[in-house]
Structures are given as structure tokens and as C-alpha cells.
Amino acid sequence: MTLFVAVTLICLLPCLHASLPVMETVNLTGIHDWGNRFEGMLVFPIVEDVYGWEVTVHFNYPVILQRNAETTINRISADNRTYVLVNKLSDGSKHNHTTTSMTIIGRYNRLTSDPPIAATAALVNLIHDGQVTPSTPPAVASEKYNYAEVLEKSILFYEAQRSGKLPSTNRIPWRGDSALTDHGQNGEDLSGGWYDAGDHLKFGFPLAGSVSMLAWGLIEFKDAYAATGQLDNMYDCIRWPLEWLMKAHTGRNELYVQVGDGDLDHHFWGRPEDMTMARPSYKITEDKPGSDVAAEYAAAMASGYIAFKDKEPAFAAKLLTHAREIYAFALEYNGTYSKSLPQSAAQFYGSSDYDDEMCWGGAWLYLATGEDKYLTHSKNYNHPGTSWGQSWGNKDIGCKVLLHNVTGEDRYAADITGTFTNWMPGGNVPYLNSGLALRNEWGSLRHTANMAFIALVAAENGLNSAEYRAWAKSQIHIALGDTGRSFVVGFGVNPPSHPHHRSSSCPMMPAPCSQEALSRSGSNPHTLYGGLVGGPSREGSYKDNRQDYQQNEVACDYNAGFQSAVADTCLYLHIKLSGCTL
């Protein structure tokens, strides 16, 4: 029998799981009681599949329990009457229709006239996390997919990626404080920010690139966030990494661009809350410059400034000050961070040149300040011609769209339409039978979703609007379910349930978690709502396999262009508030 009651004895202790259901409550049985020592058994019928478990035992006397073979003692109440025992790593999985038992041995003191020892014990299955399924906002009747729900869930995905000290408003019950001691080479506080993907590295380059794309979506399609009730959540969403980007700027010409070591991090499968490996940090300086990453930080902060300037002028002004300084650093000390820091992010998010970021950062600073010098820099770094696409490492097309917007010049329009000629059917970007444009098979959907967003902004600016909107919608709809399955965790029909994502693959704390959580066959215990997975391979195949980090990982940069595309009011309301039609 599953009892969905809050057991008050649990709350004698720090109340970690007050909301988790108790699977079974039993009494201590087979008791031998010597007045100062006792032995007994706890036998639990298992009535559902268990992954990670906790037993709270409440005695009628203060006791001193011995360790047993099955569990470790996790916590003890101040009066020694209540013990919380947690499964050992080797013993976390239990199948329905079995029983699990353990011997309980302890010492205590009573007079012979006192009643004998007794105990009740409640088992909590830590596969549960108490996370409430987000309430689904009302869909627009004429729409195939509920865009409001996608926006809400995508923002929740970013919340699950938070590193550092979580605020009391945290909505992800299976996440706690983590990596609180992340620091710079002189002890500067570098806690906070987002974990990059399914791992726990903090990579400034893609992080800042994600923030720029999200801020752009907020600036461009603010109506949609407001109409779907997500505006405040969205501000919180990008404020979190923006604060970290400012922390990372530890000196005028000094910028931290990574925390954590790739190899050490990737050898650990578990929760960020449990990490113990060294987390070195890496910075660019005058001697080790990185105009690519610096200009991207400047872009994120300048677009963040625009997003926040009316809402929180003081915060926005701080962002702009940092953005100006960092862009000046990028200009004066030019170089690529891959060359300057070859042992770090270069292996994961390498960059071969910085012109695209200098163009992009300059354009955002021009939009933020109106100062011509930034427009001049932006134009100077632009390379005429068509683009590969928009990604964490390539902002060429994004910059062209901004330059077209601010100058109205035909040369930018020509490069943008030329790029989309390549991307549309009949161009040089291959298509799957499903109709998905597949630029690159490592995270295929994010590249396409980024371009869907770029197409929607180009459409706003009057370039082939009907065609670009229809194309963007067709691509986003494939991610949302047009092939018969959703590629967004916790959304739509047959969504991925085994994303390559460490923290959601673990049972609830305090159950131990390790490599076994990667290889086990069951769904991730926690639903990582809103995470867009990598997506189909070059052959069009896809497997919901946790081990596959090309097709089934999630990442901050995967969701950024995707979320901004979904936020287009043309998609959401079908007919834009101010009159655009599909």
C-alpha cells in the first residue's frame, strides 16, 4: 500500500523530503530485547520499482544504532530516537513484488518495569522527487503545439542548469546548492552561472552565446513572454548567467572563461551537489588574449543591458559598463582563446577566429549605446558572403541580421537571403525525409533551431517574411513532434526520457549516485522539463539513449535559439499582435 501522507516523524529532522510519498510503513519485528541491547528486523514489501531509498526509523527510546549491511546512517535526530538510513550504492534498485529487509541492532537503556523497545519505520522511494508537473498554460485553439507550455518548460530547463547557491524561489526540487567554492586563481568568487550541458563544466563561451540568443529573443518577442505569463521567469532566467558573467570579469583586461577540468568532470557521473574533484579555472589576459570569447561576453552583456534597461536600470548600467570594457579589451589585445588556452575549453568549444564575435559584439554595443564607433567596428569585422549558420562558435549570420536592421543596407540583405537560399530545400544544407534541415549531426536540432530564430528575425525585418516564417515553423514543429515524437523532455507526445544529463539521472538526494545511473535502463528519475535533446543523426535515426551524447544530450546552447524561435509572437499567436500574418 502506498501512503501519500506526510509522516510527521520525518520532520523531526531537517525536512528534506516532506513532500515525498512514503511507500510503506512497517514495525520492527522479531525483536530480541535485553534491556540494554536489542535486535530486530525491518521487512518492507516493495510495491513499485524503487531507485534509491531512505528509511526513517522512529524508536520509543533514545538509541545508539549499529551500522548494518544494507544502509548508511544519514542523519539522527537530536533526541536519538529517529534515524534516517539510506541505501548503499550497491543496493539502490528494488523491483516491484519483492521485499527488502534489514537487521536493526542497537544499544539503549530502560528499567525492567518500562515497556519494551518498539519502532516504526517508513520507506521513501527516492525515484520520486515531488516536482509538480508544470501547470499547462492554455493553448491557442488553432495551434498544433502549445507554445506557451514550451516557453515555460524551456525556462525550467535553464533553472535545472543553475550552479551555485540556489535562491528560495528554486522550482527544481531535485537540485540544491553546488560548486559553492568555484573560484579564480586569486580566490575570486566564481560560483553561480549555468552548467554547460549534461556535465558540470562552466564554459563561458557557449554560456555567453546562449545568453545573447535568449536576450535577443526577449528583446524581439517580449510580447510572447508577457502573453504567456513568463516574463518574470524569463528575466530571472537570463539574470542568473549575466551575474556570473560580471563576476568572471575580475579585472579590466582579465576574464574567466571556464571553471572545471574537462577530463576530471567527464569521469564523474553523479550530481553537481556531490562533486569533490578539483575545479580549476581559466582566464584570458593581456598575455593570453581571447577576442572571440571576450566579444561574446560583451554581446551577452550589451543585449542583457537592452533587455533590462527599463526594468532594472542599475543592473543594466552595470552590464553596459562591463560590456564596454570587455569589448575594448578584445579590440586591444586580439587573439583567439583556443590558442591562448589550448589545454582548456579549446578541446570542447574551440574557436578558430574572432571576427564574427567582434562583429556581433560591436553590433550589440551599437544597439545598446548608439555610438558610431561600435557600428564601425562591427562593419569592419563583418565578412561579406553567405554564412554557415548560427551557433555557439559562429555569429556571422546573427551579426549580418543586426547590421541589416540598423543600416538597412542591401549588401547585408543579400548575404542573409543568400544564406537562407543555402538553408532552404534545394540549397546546400542536406534535408532528412522528415523535412529537417541537418547542418551538423552533433546536436542537429539546435543548429536548425538557431536558424529558425534567425529566419524569424529576418522576417520581422521584412526579408521574405512569409517564406521564412513558414520554414521556421516547419523546423520548430519537427522538434515539437511532427515526426511522431517530441524532442523536448517532458513535452508533447513520446518525449525523450533518457537524456544524457547527470543530475536528472540520479535518484533524489541523499541516495548515492554513480556511473550506474548512466547505464541503467530506466528513465531518468527526474523529468528535465524543457530540455531540447541533440536530435536525429545524418541518417535520420534517433534513439532515446542516455549514453549517446551526440543525439541525446541537452545543453544551454541547444535551447537558446529554440526558445527564442518559439517565443516569436507570430508562432505563438499565429497572427502577431501588431499585424504580421503567416
**Max intra-chain CA distance, the chain:** 97
Measured distance CA(390)–CA(357) in Å, rounded: 11
- x/- contact string, 137-176, with ligand NAG (CB under 6 A)? ----------------------------------------
| Cell numbers found for residue 310 | 527599463
Region binding ligand NAG by CB under 6 A among candidate stretches 36-44, 307-315, 455-463, 551-559: 455-463
Q: Side-chain half-sphere of 34: how many Cα atoms within 13 Å?
A: 7
Q: What type of residue sits at position 468?
A: Y
CB-nearer residue toward ligand NAG: 178 or 461: 461
Binding mask 214-233 for ligand NAG (x = CB under 6 A): ------x-------------
Nearer to ligand NAG, 527 or 551 (CB): 527
What is the nearest approach in angstroms of ligand NAG to the Cβ of residue 462? 6
Q: How far is the CB of 128 from ligand NAG (least distance, A)?
A: 11
Q: Which is nearer to ligand NAG, 225 or 269 (CB)?
A: 225
Nearest-5° Cα angle at 313, 312 to 315: 70
Binding window for ligand NAG (CB under 6 A); candidates: 203-211, 319-327, 457-465, 474-482: 457-465
Contact mark string toward ligand NAG, 37..66, x via CB under 6 A? ----------xxx------------x-x--
Active-site hit among 58, 200, 322, 500: 500
When binding is defined by CB under 6 A, the residue of 7, 20, 23, 26 that contacts ligand NAG is 26
Write down the least CB distance from residue 465 to ligand NAG, Å: 11
Closest CB to ligand NAG among residues 457, 513: 457
The distance of closest approach from Cβ of residue 192 to ligand NAG in the complex, given in angstroms and rounded to an integer, is: 31
User: If DSSP codes are grouped into helix, strand and coil, which group holds residue 84?
Assistant: strand
Instruction: Specify the residue, 9 or 264, whose C-beta has the smaller distance to ligand NAG.
Output: 9
User: On the CB side of 406, how many CA atoms lie within 13 Å of its CA?
Assistant: 22
Which residue in 5, 15, 18, 27 binds ligand NAG (CB under 6 A)?
Answer: 27
- Rounded to whole angstroms, how far apart are CA atoms 526 and 126? 10
Residue 55, beta-bridge partner list: 85, 123
Please say which residue, 406 or 470, places its beta carbon nearer to ligand NAG.
406
Catalytic option among 199, 220, 296, 460? 199
> Could you say which residues in the range 62-121 bind ligand NAG, by CB under 6 A?
62, 64, 79-80, 96-97
Which residue's CB is nearer to ligand NAG, number 198 or number 561? 561
What CA–CA distance (Å, rounded) separates 496 from 522?
A: 12
Catalytic residue among 159, 196, 261, 544: 544
Please give the helix or strand (H or E) that residue 159 lies within, else none.
helix 147-160
Instruction: Give me the 327-356 binding string for ligand NAG, x by CB under 6 A, dash otherwise.
Output: -------xx---------------------
Q: Provide long-range contacts, Cβ within 8 A and 24+ apart, for 351-356.
A: 351/205, 351/290, 351/292, 351/293, 351/393, 353/292, 354/290, 354/291, 354/292, 354/295, 354/330, 355/381, 355/382, 355/383, 356/381, 356/383, 356/394, 356/395, 356/396, 356/399
514 to each of 85, 88, 557, how far by Cα in Å? 19, 11, 26
Q: Which residue has the cell 517574411?
A: 465
- What the block records as the C-alpha cell of 482 is 511532427
Dihedrals phi, psi of 429, to nearest 5 degrees: -85, 125
Q: What is the DSSP string of 320-381?
A: HHHHHHHHHHHHHS---HHHHSTTTTHHHH--S-SHHHHHHHHHHHHHHH--HHHHHHHHHH
Is 79 assigned a catalytic role? no
| Nearest C-alpha neighbor of 194 from the set 169, 216, 174, 175 | 175
Which residue of 149, 199, 460, 544 would you call a contact of ligand NAG, by CB under 6 A?
A: 460
Q: Does 285 bind ligand NAG (CB under 6 A)?
A: no
48-62 burial, b if ≥16 CB within 10 A, otherwise e? eebbbbbbbbbbbbe
Least distance between ligand NAG and beta carbon 365 (Å): 16
**500 an active-site residue?**
yes
Do 345 and 310 contact (CB within 8 A), yes or no? no
> Could you tell me if 455 and 436 are in contact, meaning their C-beta atoms sit under 8 angstroms apart?
no
Count the residues of the shown chain that bind ligand NAG, applying the rule CB under 6 A. 19
Closest residue to ligand NAG, Cβ-based? Answer: 461
- Residue 176 or 418 with smaller CB distance to ligand NAG: 418
Cross-strand bridge partners of residue 123: 24, 55
Q: Using CA atoms, how far apart are residues 191 and 184, in angstroms rounded to an integer?
A: 10
Smaller CB separation from ligand NAG, 108 or 244? 108
Tell me the three cell numbers of residue 219. Answer: 528583446
- How far apart, in Å, are the Cα atoms of 365 and each of 314, 320, 387? 17, 8, 22
* Residue 199 a catalytic site member: yes
Length of the chain: 582
- Give, as ranges, the residues between 372 and 431 that touch ligand NAG (CB under 6 A): 405, 408
Among 392-400, 454-462, 479-487, 548-556, which window interacts with ligand NAG (CB under 6 A)? 454-462
Q: Which is nearer to ligand NAG, 27 or 519 (CB)?
A: 27
Which residues are catalytic, by number? Answer: 199, 500, 544, 553
Residues forming the site for ligand NAG (CB under 6 A):
26-27, 47-49, 62, 64, 79-80, 96-97, 220, 334-335, 405, 408, 460-462
